Amino acid sequence: MNKPIEERELILAILLEVTRDKVPGHLALSRVLSKYQYLDKRERAFITRVTEGTLEHMIEIDYIIDQFSKTKTAKMKPVIRIILRSAVYQLKYMDQVPASAVCNEAVRLAKKRGFQNLSGFVNGVLRTIARQMDQVKLPEHPLSRRLSVQYSIPEWMVEMWLSSYPEETVEKMLSFMMEEHPTCIRFDPGRITKEEIKARLKEDGVEKVEDHPVLPYALWISGYDYLGGLETFEEGLFYVQDASSMMAVESLPVKKGDSIIDVCAAPGGKALHAAEKLAGTGHVDARDLTEYKVGLIEENIGRSGLTNISARQQDARVCDEASVETADIVIADLPCSGLGVLATKKDIRYNMTPETQKELAALQREILSVVHRYVKPGGTLLYSTCTINREENEENTAWFLEQHREFALIKEKQFLPGIDPCDGFYIAVMKKQESK
C-alpha cells in the first residue's frame, strides 16, 4: 500500500469532519489515531502535524490561496478546499516535504475522490503558490486584519481583545496561541512522588519531562506518541490538565472534611483535584448534564483510585433543593466560548461566533443564579471559565455580585496566554457571608 496517499486521505477525512461537520479537532484526530493503530510513529506524527497545522494556520492559508486562485476558498467544494489547504500548509511550513511531492499527492487525492475535472485546477494553483509563496505580503490595514491573517484568528476576536487589552498584550497572546506547547499534567503527590512519576514517564518513552515553574505537582511533557498508550496514563498516575485549571482549585480554601459540589464537572479535572486536596476526607459531588458526561467523570474517578468523590447527573439550571446550603465550596466551572485554549484546541476559533458567546454568557448567569444557593453561609463559590471575554467573565461576576450582596469577591484573575505560564482562564472566588 502506498503510505503517503493513505496518510493524506486520513488528513482529508479529519479536516472535513472538523470544518464541515464541526467535530472538535482533537476528537477527530484521536479517533483516527486510535482506529489506525498500525500506523507507525512517523506517520502518526505527520498526520497530527498536518491536521493541527492546517487548522492553526487556516485563515493565513486561505489568504494565500485567494491571492492565486480565481475561485475564492469560500466558494470551493469542501474536498478541494481541504486538499488545497493541507497542501499549502506543507508547502509553507514543512521544508522536509518536497514541493513537487506535495503537488503530486494533492492532485492524486483530488482524482481519487472523484474530482478528475478539478485536478488541473489543483495542480495549477499549488504549483503557482509553490513558486510565488515568498511574494505574499500580509495586509497592512487595519491592524485587526493584519493580526487576523498573521495569527489565523478571526478578525472579530482580534477586535474584541484589542478593545480590552493593549496591542502589545494582544500580540503576545496571539503569538502564544500559534506556538507548540508541551502537555501539562497533574500528578497526585499523595499517591506518587515527583521523582517516581518522572522516572515512570521516562520508562514510558516520554522524551521530555519538565517541572512547572509555579505548581509543584504539575509537569510539562513532550515527545510522546499517543497519550492513551502510556502505562502511566492507564494506571491513572497523572491527569492531563492545564496549570490554569489547577490554579483555580489552588485558589480555594479547601480544608479536610469539606463537602464540595462541582456543578459542571466533566471530565472531572477540577473535581478530582479538589478530592485529592481533601486527602481522603470529605466528599466531592461531581455533576454534569448528561449520562455520557457522567460516564467520563466516572472513568476518571476509576483511574484515580480516589474514594471521596462520586458523580451524578444533574442539570445545573435546575435547583436541587436537597443541596441548598450544604456545600463548603461550590465549583462552577461553566460552559464557555473556550477562547483561552486556542493554543491546544485549534478549531474553536472557527466555530465560535459573537452570537454564541452572548448565549453562553446568558447560560452562565442562569446557572450561577441557581447554584449559588448550594453554598453554606461562610462558604465559597468559584466561578471560572477557560475563555478571554469580559462579557462571560468580569461582567458576569459583577452582575452576580450586584444581584447577591451576600457574596463578596475574594479573588479575581484573568490569566492570559503568553503573559501567564498557562492557557487563558478566568477565576472569581466569592465568599458567602456567615449567617447572622
Residues annotated within the binding site for S-adenosyl-L-methionine are 264-270, 288, 315, 333
Nearest CB to ligand SAM, comparing residues 258 and 333: 333
The answer to whether 274 and 329 have CB atoms below 8 angstroms apart is yes
Window of 50-58, 261-269, 394-402, 416-424 that interacts with ligand SAM by CB under 6 A: 261-269
Q: Which three cell numbers stand for residue 315?
A: 442539570
Residues that contact ligand SAM, how many (by CB under 6 A): 16
DSSP letter, residue 179? S
Q: Are strands 208-211 and 218-222 parallel, antiparallel or unpaired?
A: antiparallel
* Rounded Cα–Cα distance for residues 433 and 436 (Å): 9
- Distance CA(404)–CA(377), nearest Å, equals 13
Contact between 342 and ligand SAM by CB under 6 A: the answer reads no
Q: Is 386 a catalytic residue?
A: yes
Residue from 186, 200, 270, 345 in contact with ligand SAM (CB under 6 A): 270
Select from 5-13, 51-59, 217-225, 259-267 the region that touches ligand SAM (CB under 6 A): 259-267
Shortest distance in whole angstroms from residue 266 CB to ligand SAM: 4
| 265 is an interface residue for ligand SAM by CB under 6 A | yes
Residues 225-254, interacting with ligand SAM (CB under 6 A): 245
SS3 at position 267: coil
| Residue where the block lists cell 484589542 | 162
Strand stretches in 97-206, DSSP E: 183-186
Grid coordinates representing 151? 495569527
- Verify binding: residue 288, ligand SAM, rule CB under 6 A: yes
Q: CB within 8 A of 146, min separation 6: which ones?
A: 138, 139, 140
Minimum CB separation of residue 303 from ligand SAM in Å reads: 14
- Stretch binding ligand SAM (CB under 6 A), from 68-76, 266-274, 277-285, 301-309: 266-274
Candidates 25, 53, 236, 268; binder of ligand SAM (CB under 6 A) is 268
User: Which listed range, 18-26, 73-81, 158-166, 287-295, lies at the site for ligand SAM (CB under 6 A)?
Assistant: 287-295
**One of 103, 184, 336, 386 is an active-site residue; which one?**
386
Q: State residue 413 phi and psi, 5-degree precision.
A: -150, 130
CA–CA distance, 40 with 33 (Å, rounded to integer): 10
102 in contact with ligand SAM (CB under 6 A): no
- In terms of C-beta density within 10 A (0-12 exposed, 13-18 middle, 19 or more buried), how is residue 305 classed? exposed
Cβ of residue 21: shortest distance to ligand SAM, in angstroms?
Answer: 20
72's CB contacts (< 8 A; 6+ apart) are 66
Nearer to ligand SAM, 171 or 347 (CB): 347
Which residues of this protein are in contact with ligand SAM, per CB under 6 A?
245, 264-270, 288-289, 293, 315-317, 333, 335
Residues taking part in catalysis: 386
